[in-house]
Structure 1
Amino acid sequence: MTGIDTFATLPMWIGFIGFVLAILALDLFVLGGKHAHRVSPREALAWVVSWIILATLFGILQWWFLDGSIGRLEANRKTLEFFTGYLIELSLSVDNMFVFSMIFGYFAVPPELQRRVLLFGVLGAIVMRIAMILVGVWLLSKFIWLFYVFGLFLVITGIKMLVSAERSPDLAKNPVVRIMRKTMRMTQDYRGEAFFVRSNGLLYATPMFGVLVLVEVTDLVFAVDSIPAIFAITTDPFVVFTSNIFAIMGLRAMYFLLASMAERFHYLKYGLAIILVLIGGKMLAAPWVHIPVLWSLGMVAIILLASIGVSLSLFRRTAARDAGDTARAASPEDTESTRRP
């Protein structure tokens, strides 16, 4: 690699970023995002489906453009890279969802305020991801050996995730939370959707701001894992960025759809850890073994479906067993009384 290799032109970058900002503005100022409200499952499902459709249409449009400009073979390759990267980023971003749920629970964020936090969190994530992707691709273009460092990092991260899958982070000991409490004046309660308020001539942050900071830091930490993972598929910064953004935008809606059911996906973390290990191994083995992108896509999809299937199956078994235990615990008198007309 001797430079940043991408098919995208500057107008394409500007157009895509403009499209994302337009969607966010539509959400913020037109579709109710300007006013605090609780996101219903139906609304969340509509947004999840909408982002999946938009990602699919984008991939098709990208293929059509490349097919007419640089040939079908390259169009097929780049489009497959986009969809594989999108699935990888979406699957790895799901872990964010569980952490966001913990953050909102720890800070007792009212359901009607959570959407606002995630909306501004996405804006910050877009800026951070652009910077990290461009820096990462530039570093790989100058120091090719970093590709194998990224691979080793993913393997180690995946193993650590497997070992600590049953542990939950203690937010009270989180260094970001402790620093904010020591260095900032913060109100005890929420003041609507405000991040800052003035009281007695002094500026105070509200818990909303603390939650936003923690959400941004969480996304940054997860980006350190997810962005190197997609480098195993492609180093085209436009493909990496677009697949990342579609995953992030879809994740925000998916949180409201699935966060309340996090306990049903207990083994999903194990699946994500295995994906990281396998992708890291793919990067480390690249000089000797070439794994086609299509195989990577199938591998990720199979692991995801298997971990979700096992999670749901064991959850149903546990629920049925608990229901049986509850029924058996009922006294004979209670059982007899329920049978009387």
Structure 2
Amino acid sequence: MDVPPLIWVLTVAGIVALLVFDFIFHVRRAHIPTLKEAVIWSSVYVGIALCFGLGVSVFGGASPGAEYFAGYITEKALSVDNLFVFLVIMNSFGVPREDQQKVLLFGIAFALVARTVFILLGAALITTFAWVFYLFGLILLITAGNMFRPEGTEEKSADNIMTRLTQRLFHTADYYDGDKLLTLQDGKRTLTPMLLVMVAIAGTDILFALDSIPAIFGLTQDVFIVFTANAFALLGLRQLYFLIDGLLNRLIFLSYGLALILGFIGVKLMLHALHENNVPFINDGEPVPVVEFDTALSLTVIVAVLGVTVLASLLSPRGKVRAAVSAARRDVVNYLDPAYTADPGERNRIFAKLLAEEQQLRRIGPKHRQQAKDEKEVMDLIAQARQQHEENTPAKDHPKQDRFDGPDNGSR
């Protein structure tokens, strides 16, 4: 599409305005979003993305519109998969539930900046070197192969080179001071673990961009569509995190579905590279006559694979068992951790969830019990949570001490 500079300026300004609005009206005051809040604002951001796509279709044409929707759906699905890692990072660092919104918004803002750099770099490489399509296709095929051997969510690590470097260069406190990045420890200004969390998120965002940018360039080479599809897929990710928090463990086949999609796009890129070939040692530097997949087929494959993947995950008995054990383990660990949240309402919500999850675990039949490897350990932890809840119930209305008011409070 031929996009005038004014449209570029207005689009970027609109995206920045949405981020600023999100920070001022939702994130600046630390709180735990309600389900209603998450549903409303997730719908708003998806609605904005869909309206933008319709605008692209009306003013740019059906083909650019289809490219936008194919890119948006793919990037959104990859973003949902990335939420697993964000969840692990925040659990690993013991981020208070009410402060997780700020970490997520920082991650979204950093991802937008990082991906914009990668998009501009990728566009410049594609324009200058046609062989880059081979490289992008190879990256996606390798990524798809790795995703067919997915690790469990609990096995993923929040540790990365940026986190280790920050820990080595800077002394950090061993406790949170609300959502502050700096605190006073022994009379000296010290970094809080909140900074380490943001560094870990930033490092992870860069790794994600290495997969997502080649994927969308496999669907369209229009820089405006690549940028906007990425931006609108990222906007609203914070609300989506709290909306599908309990559903993440159910999507056991999502990695397989994304592997198929990335593999399909990788093949598409390879075919396109052959069609545009100028590499001397391939067909003497001449284009190779091959079949190419059009945008309509790509969009159909993406939607179909994601639909089958999500339905299979939700209907799978194995998925239900695995999700029940994983969700119960996470909730009981959070409940038993006094550093998890200072909000009594959130603790009561987790305990109510635990009671329901306990009943669900008790209903696991012999056929699927072998898949619930940690069931006994989780049930023992739930028993501890019950005992703790009974001990604390008489004083539940008493004001609780802020867990972040000093190093003596410790951290998880």
Report what 2:293 is aligned to.
291
After superposition, residues 226-241 of structure 1 pair within 5 angstroms as 226-241=212-227
Asked if the contact 1:82/1:240 (under 8 Å) is kept, the reply is: yes
Report the alpha carbon displacement of residue 64 of structure 1 after superposing the two structures with TM: 2.8
Provide the rounded CA distance (Å) in 2 between the counterparts of 1:9 and 1:280.
31
Q: Does the residue aligned with 1:139 lie in a helix, a strand or coil? A: helix
Asked if the contact 1:165/1:269 (under 8 Å) is kept, the reply is: no
Report what 1:300 is aligned to.
302
Report what 2:43 is aligned to.
49
- How many pairs are equivalent? 313
Q: Does the residue aligned with 2:183 lie in a helix, a strand or coil? A: strand
Q: Does the residue aligned with 1:171 lie in a helix, a strand or coil? A: coil
After superposition, residues 118-133 of structure 1 pair within 5 angstroms as 118-133=104-119
Gap regions ≥5 residues in structure 2: 276-289, 325-359, 370-412
1:187 aligns with 2:159: no
| CA RMSD across the alignment | 2.1
Report what 2:253 is aligned to.
267
| Paired amino acid for 2:115 | R
Higher RCO structure, 1 or 2 (CA under 8 Å, sep 6+): 1
Report the alpha carbon displacement of residue 28 of structure 1 after superposing the two structures with TM: 1.5
Report what 1:333 is aligned to.
none
Identity %: 35
Report what 1:3 is aligned to.
none
After superposition, residues 89-108 of structure 1 pair within 5 angstroms as 89-108=75-94
Report what 2:200 is aligned to.
214
Report what 1:117 is aligned to.
103
Gap regions ≥5 residues in structure 1: 1-5, 67-74, 330-341
Provide the rounded CA distance (Å) in 1 between the counterparts of 2:151 and 2:157.
16
TM-score by length of 2: 0.72
Provide the rounded CA distance (Å) in 2 between the counterparts of 1:148 and 1:56.
31
Asked if the contact 1:82/1:243 (under 8 Å) is kept, the reply is: yes
Report the alpha carbon displacement of residue 317 of structure 1 after superposing the two structures with TM: 5.8
Provide the rounded CA distance (Å) in 1 between the counterparts of 2:22 and 2:153.
35
Report the alpha carbon displacement of residue 198 of structure 1 after superposing the two structures with TM: 4.0
Q: Does the residue aligned with 2:75 lie in a helix, a strand or coil? A: helix
| Paired amino acid for 2:299 | L
Q: Does the residue aligned with 1:108 lie in a helix, a strand or coil? A: coil
Q: 2:146 aligns with which of 160, 176, 179?
A: 160
1:14 aligns with 2:14: no
Q: Does the residue aligned with 1:84 lie in a helix, a strand or coil? A: helix
Q: Does the residue aligned with 1:285 lie in a helix, a strand or coil? A: helix
Report what 1:34 is aligned to.
28
| Higher deviation after alignment, 20-29 or 89-98 | 20-29
Residues 164-189 of structure 1: CA deviation (Å, up to 9, x unaligned): 34475553753333323222111111
- Say if 1:91 and 1:317 are closer, same or farther in 2 by CA, change over 3 A: closer
TM-score by length of 1: 0.86
Report what 2:280 is aligned to.
none
Report what 2:345 is aligned to.
none
